[in-house]
Amino acid sequence: MTRHWFRLHKRFSKGFSPVRWQGWLLTAVFIGVIILLAYRFNLRQATLRQGIGFLITFVLVAGLYCWIAYKKCKT
């Protein structure tokens, strides 16, 4: 029996909600990575190329987070 890290909301939205410490840790790491990316790409003074690089990296990291959350959720 596997323990699920996330719960899938079907009634109000289509999002994931962490229910175990592993899910909360993954969520905290995701938020930390996004904050570090914002500092890394210096978004206040970013050029268009840096902004596009941040956007591509953000989409990849968010996609990875969603994929892990989907694989570890109770449907």
Q: Are 57 and 37 in contact (CB under 8 A)?
A: yes
Confidence (pLDDT) at 75:
63
State pLDDT tens for residues 9-37: 776 667 788 888 999 999 999 999 999 98
Order of strands across the sheet that contains 16-18: 16-18, 6-8, 73-74
Question: Which residues lie across from 8 on neighbouring strands?
Answer: 16
pLDDT-based confidence at residue 65 (cuts at 50, 70, 90): very high
